[in-house]
Amino acid sequence: MNKKTIWITGGSTGIGKALAIKFAKEGWNVAISARRENLLKETCGEHENISSFPLDVTDKNKCKEVFQNIVDTFQGVDICFFSTGTWDPKKEKDIDVEQIENVFKVNFFGTLNSIKAVEKYFKDRKSGTITIVSSIAGYRGLPNSTGYGPSKSALNNLAESLYFDFGRSNVRVCLVSPGFIKTPMTDKNDFKMPFLKTSEYAAEKIYDGLVNKNSFEIHFPKSLTTILKVLSFLPNKIYFGLIGKLTKYQKKKRSSCLKIQSSKVIFISLPLTGTNKTYSNLKAGPYEYPLALPTTSPAVPS
């Protein structure tokens, strides 16, 4: 059996499912895991080289057992794609410790359990790829994200740490930072999502990044992630002021939408200093950018 094999957790819906179908179409053996066995079976029924390995990633021992099962079935695994995640926007506005623990249990520790399950195999094998799915929400702190953002930030740090560790054994560690992708997870959002893309789009970008490229981070869509990367380098005062403005404005005028070109957003982001500015010179463009810029400033922390 010479076909390559990928193990995808979070494979029952959304990005994980779309990626499973993409890899299957490219001729790979695909092992998908998640808790909802019926959904996994449905996907397997439609694609002959996708196989179901049900798993709750919060169960450490089960992660090891399932991975061994996959290795035995396919005589090896080349790529692991750990994409289990949970997000409930309604519960992220306050400090609900139990809720945050639950988010960390799935997003951070669930991913960690999965990585631990494959650690020895990949280090002995001295090749392969371990992929951690994080989020643009992990770049810097955002309002109303008391559990999800911090859990993704922790994953970013973990991925960087493991990059060195696994790198010594010639194993690639890859971080995936999607922007807004239409999936059951984001269907719960009650705000307009800029640059929203389909899960098939995400799958194409991830496949290309994993198979054809060798970079540490795969992030998309660039039109959004580039803006956020620029924002993440801003000094705290400017960052807090800008994000404060954007979210305050969005609350006030949820239905409002300013149409501007994404490239212009980058250029106007840089000179913002928390003081009043006028943005009347913005030109209409092809993208909807709902985080429209207000004309008055909220208080900026000093």
Ligand X SMILES: NC(=O)c1ccc[n+]([C@@H]2O[C@H](COP(=O)([O-])OP(=O)(O)OC[C@H]3O[C@@H](n4cnc5c(N)ncnc54)[C@H](OP(=O)(O)O)[C@@H]3O)[C@@H](O)[C@H]2O)c1
Report the interface residues with ligand X, using CB under 6 A. Answer: 9-16, 34-36, 39, 55-58, 83-86, 106, 110, 133, 135, 178, 180-181, 183-186
Question: Which residue number, 51 or 238, has a Cβ lying nearer to ligand X?
Answer: 51
- Shortest Å, Cβ 12 to ligand X: 4
- Shortest Å, Cβ 272 to ligand X: 25
CA distance 31 to 198: 22
Inter-helix orientation angle 111-125/148-167, to 10°? 10
Q: Where are the alpha helices (DSSP H) in 107-259?
A: 111-125, 148-167, 199-207, 222-232, 236-252
- Shortest Å, Cβ 40 to ligand X: 8
CA distance 137 to 122: 29
Question: Which residue number, 49 or 58, has a Cβ lying nearer to ligand X?
Answer: 58
Question: Which residue number, 108 or 122, has a Cβ lying nearer to ligand X?
Answer: 108
Query: Position 156: which residue type?
Result: N
Question: Which residue number, 28 or 108, has a Cβ lying nearer to ligand X?
Answer: 108
Q: Where are the alpha helices (DSSP H) in 26-147?
A: 37-46, 60-74, 97-103, 111-125
CA distance 120 to 185: 32
- Shortest Å, Cβ 215 to ligand X: 18
Alpha carbon of 198 to those of 18, 49, 88, 221, 292: distances in Å? Answer: 9, 23, 20, 11, 23
- Shortest Å, Cβ 247 to ligand X: 18
- Shortest Å, Cβ 193 to ligand X: 7
Paired residues of 82 in beta bridges:
9, 132
Sign of CA dihedral 152, 4, 204, 45: negative
Paired residues of 129 in beta bridges:
79, 172
Question: Closest residue (Cβ) to ligand X?
Answer: 14
- Shortest Å, Cβ 54 to ligand X: 9
In whole angstroms, what separates CA 92 from the centre of its chain?
17
Contact 150, 167 (CB under 8 A): no
